[in-house]
Amino acid sequence: IGHDRNTSFGPDRKGDFFQEQRFVTVLDKLYIPHPLNENGLLQFQPEGGLYWKDYFDENFLDAVVWSAGASVREKDSKPVSLSAKYLFNRIRYPSNAEITQSVHQASAAVTMIQNGSIEHQLHTLLEWKNYDERKSLEQNAVFSDEARKDFRYGFGYQLFGQLNNAAAIYWNADWYKNDSNDIFLNYSDYESVLTSATGVIRISDRINQIFYGSFEYKEYDDRIFQFNSVKPQLDRIYAGGSLTEYRFTKTFSVIFSFRYVENTSTNVSQNYSGSDMKLSSRFLF
């Protein structure tokens, strides 16, 4: 159950209550022979999930997401190991069929463990996004007969540090490029640099606390926000929040979370800010 004060969709969206439900299934790990190391094993793990979000007052941007995928990683390969993952998401918006989409993601990573408590990871991502009904824009700003498609690629670095038995930190830095088949002004083509930091604290055997913050610098290739402009649109997106988990048992916990997002854009029509609060319960089977 949550309360949404996101103003990016207009004043009528301010102060809405919503409910979210998420089911995730991760199958038992399967071990298969390593093709390049006769004494090694690969850990294979399929997964699937279902998520939906529903606003109580109206059916605006209700989302239903089906996901399926699998990951494979080297088992007992230290200090350096390789991993890869594929994930498919089917995202349906019952109230807005135009943005219903299918998303394919493929990623790979190299992880190095240092001194047992520090972990470095280099990773790369490829993503294909296909819209069901949204059409691409031609050079004259007329919609074509071809469905809108986005291709995203990027790479990044993650640092994980275990400070002690009760605290850990994550730091990420990522770059990616979004390439769309929209021709008009290359309206959806942009580069993004995203950095984020997360702190995890175990306050007691029952209480865990997470704090996080991020900053994204998004520069569009050719999108302009006024006819006499010579510079493309530039967005600066700030986000932060916290999450508190109280574990009643090993399989049941209650989570309270808060999130705030703000976009400062050179295109003032794209400025927005929003926040939401959620009270959730989690069951493990």
In the prediction, which pLDDT does 155 show?
A: 97
In the prediction, which pLDDT does 260 show?
A: 93
* 252, part of any domain: yes
The CATH number covering residue 150 comes to 2.40.160.60
* 34, part of any domain: no
Burial label, 226 (beta-carbon count in 10 A; 0-12, 13-18, 19+)? exposed
Show pLDDT as tens, one digit a residue, over the chain (285 residues). Answer: 787 776 554 444 445 777 888 888 877 667 767 666 666 677 888 888 888 887 776 655 578 889 999 888 887 667 888 899 999 999 887 777 777 889 999 999 999 998 878 999 999 999 998 888 776 655 555 566 677 888 999 999 999 999 998 999 999 999 999 988 766 556 778 999 999 999 999 999 999 999 999 999 999 887 776 655 668 889 999 999 999 999 999 899 999 999 999 999 988 888 888 888 899 999 887
* 17, part of any domain: no
* 53, part of any domain: no
Read off the tokens for 10: 């207009």
End-to-end CA separation in angstroms for the chain: 21
Supply the range of the domain harboring residue 86. Answer: 77-283
> What is the value of pTM for the model shown?
0.81
Q: Can you point out the beta strands (E) in 61-142?
A: 63-75, 80-92, 101-114, 118-137
Q: Look at the chain and report how many structural domains it folds into.
A: 1
* 31, part of any domain: no
* 5, part of any domain: no
In angstroms and rounded to an integer, the radius of gyration of the C-alpha atoms of the chain is 21
* 200, part of any domain: yes
* 135, part of any domain: yes
